[in-house]
């Protein structure tokens, strides 16, 4: 089993290398595996697709969900060349694979110029103290939509 995980991590790292070499984006790659088969692939495409959310993990999750025709990655494993940033970690929790394997750490990423540790630090700050300040308003109007959702008979939970 250990060998299997190493082989899948190697595939994710290979995607990182290829995406970097072809100038699609940063040096990150990820794959999604189900029952021993690769069902999703991704590499960072932020700069080439002009999409700040196109991190390798998000691209791989979207690719796998499209292939599996599901918004859940039940029984899947995600392999990524680097420890996920907060955005990707959030995406992983919403997609719900059963496990994640990563190669480089977030400290390795920071040393290479990708400092998502600052985002982790921002999470602990109050809204208005953040580098991107956050303000609240119109809560009552928005709450009415939540109330409508809760009483919606044909809603699809996720």
Smallest distance, a copy of itself to C-beta of residue 38, A:
16
Smallest distance, a copy of itself to C-beta of residue 25, A:
7
- Per CB under 8 A, contacts with a copy of itself among 33-52 are 46-47, 49-52
Tell me if 103 contacts a copy of itself by CB under 8 A: yes
Bridge partners of residue 30, in order along the sequence: 42, 80
Of these residues, 57, 83, 129, 140, which one is catalytic? Answer: 57
User: Would you say 32 and 61 are in contact if contact means Cβ atoms under 8 Å apart?
Assistant: yes
Convert residues 59-88 into a mask of x (bound to a copy of itself by CB under 8 A) and - (unbound).
--xx--xx--xxxxx-------xxx-xxxx
What contacts 24, CB < 8 A, 6 or more positions away? Answer: 43, 44, 45, 47, 48, 49
- Burial group, residue 93, by CB count within 10 angstroms (0-12, 13-18, 19+): exposed
* Residue with tokens 């990708």, as numbered in its chain: 114
CA angle 74, 80, 83 (to 5 degrees): 105
**How many residues at the interface with a copy of itself, by CB under 8 A?**
89
Q: Which of 22, 74, 96, 129 binds a copy of itself (CB under 8 A)?
A: 96
Tell me if 153 contacts a copy of itself by CB under 8 A: no
Question: For this structure, is 129 an active site residue?
Answer: no
Cα separation of 147 and 75, whole Å? 33
Smallest distance, a copy of itself to C-beta of residue 41, A:
16
Q: Which of 36, 37, 123, 126 binds a copy of itself (CB under 8 A)?
A: 123
Residues annotated catalytic, as ranges:
57
């Amino acid at each position: 089993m250990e060998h299997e995980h190493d082989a899948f991590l190697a595939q994710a790292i290979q995607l990182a290398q290829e995406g970097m070499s072809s100038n699609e984006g940063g040096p990150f790659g990820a794959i999604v595996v189900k029952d021993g088969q690769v069902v999703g692939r991704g590499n960072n495409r932020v700069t080439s697709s002009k999409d700040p959310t196109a991190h390798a993990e998000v691209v791989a999750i979207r690719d796998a969900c499209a292939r599996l025709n599901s918004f859940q990655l039940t029984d899947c494993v995600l392999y990524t060349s680097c420890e996920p940033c907060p955005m990707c970690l959030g995406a992983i929790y919403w997609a719900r694979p059963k496990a994640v394997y990563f190669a480089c750490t977030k400290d390795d990423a920071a040393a290479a110029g990708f400092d998502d540790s600052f985002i982790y630090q921002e999470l602990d700050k109050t809204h208005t103290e953040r580098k991107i300040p956050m303000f609240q308003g119109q809560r009552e109007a928005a709450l009415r939509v939540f109330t409508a959702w809760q009483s919606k008979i044909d809603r699809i939970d996720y």
